[in-house]
Amino acid sequence: MPNKIINSESSFRSKLKNKDFTIIARDCVGGALYHQLKERFLSPTINLFFTLNDFNYFCLYLEDYISGELIESKEENIDYPVGLLKPRKGTTDKAIKVHFMHYETFEMAYQKWEERKQRINWNNIYVISSCCYQHEIENLNEQIINDWNKIKYPKVILVDKQYGFNDEFIINKPEECQEYAWLLYEPDKEKTWKRTFNEFDFIKFLNKK
């Protein structure tokens, strides 16, 4: 079945029936979608990213991580703040990293994280992930795929071909684009989410409630 859904901003907003939803996103697509729909950020996962493995753990034990402790992680050769998220004592003790690449300081990132996590609508959560970096694809294993498949919330993972995840959706990657650019840029290199929004029907996804 071809991936062809044409979504303008007006059609996005007019067709959206579900409101007050929380998007738990692995990267900036969540914030971009909230912005496109002119909806309030009811999620702490704005302007940041997780590794694929850490994101799976975050979603599997979401309540434990949201109620856990976020501290600064000093990272070499990274020019943006990184947080180390420790879950409350419960079903997992794995600390994961949150990459706040669009924040100037950890203090600013921490403030927004704490503020927005209070807004989560626990009865209306949707998960959006992606698997696109070459090093992620090369290091995919059965455990990573199985962890994703166990996530209980409505979810989609955007990929460039089938890898065995549940709820995969293939985004066509242009020949001229490299790595993550297939989600972020049109061939003219203007920063946009148009390609992703035109192929995956986010409105149908969010209206599942």
Which of 121, 115, 111, 38 has the alpha carbon at shortest distance from 72? 111
Distance CA 45, CA 30 (A): 7
Question: Which structural domain range is residue 151 located in?
Answer: 9-49+103-206
- How many domains are there within the chain? 1
Query: Is residue 89 one of the residues assigned to a domain?
Result: no
Q: Which residues in the chain belong to E strands, given as ranges?
A: 22-25, 69-72, 82-86, 96-99, 125-131, 155-159, 168-170
> Which residues neighbour 149 within 8 Å (Cβ) at sequence distance 6 or greater?
165, 166
Which of 175, 35, 38 has the alpha carbon at shortest distance from 102? 35
Identify which of 72-76, 109-113, 159-163 has the greatest average pLDDT.
109-113
Distance CA 189, CA 33 (A): 20
Average pLDDT score over the chain:
87
Query: Is residue 57 one of the residues assigned to a domain?
Result: no
Query: Is residue 16 one of the residues assigned to a domain?
Result: yes
The pLDDT of residue 197: 73
Q: Are 199 and 186 in contact (CB under 8 A)?
A: no
The pLDDT of residue 92: 85
Res. 64: pLDDT tops 90: yes
157 vs 196 pLDDT, higher one? 157
Mean of pLDDT values over 27-53: 93
Query: Is residue 68 one of the residues assigned to a domain?
Result: no
Query: Is residue 60 one of the residues assigned to a domain?
Result: no
Token duo for residue 47: 């302007």
* pLDDT band with cut points at 50, 70 and 90 for residue 178: low
* DSSP 8-state assignment for residue 67: T
* pLDDT band with cut points at 50, 70 and 90 for residue 3: very low
Res. 68: pLDDT tops 90: yes
Distance CA 165, CA 149 (A): 6
Distance CA 43, CA 39 (A): 11
The pLDDT of residue 190: 53
Percent of the chain with pLDDT over 90: 63
185 vs 73 pLDDT, higher one? 73
Q: Is 143 helix (H, G, I), strand (E, B) or coil?
A: helix
The pLDDT of residue 208: 82
Angle between helices 142-150 and 52-60 (to 10 degrees): 30
> Which residues neighbour 194 within 8 Å (Cβ) at sequence distance 6 or greater?
186
Which of 51, 1, 44, 2 has the alpha carbon at shortest distance from 26? 51
Which of 73, 72, 47, 43 has the alpha carbon at shortest distance from 58? 43
* pLDDT band with cut points at 50, 70 and 90 for residue 13: confident
Mean of pLDDT values over 32-47: 93
Distance CA 205, CA 209 (A): 9
Query: Is residue 73 one of the residues assigned to a domain?
Result: no
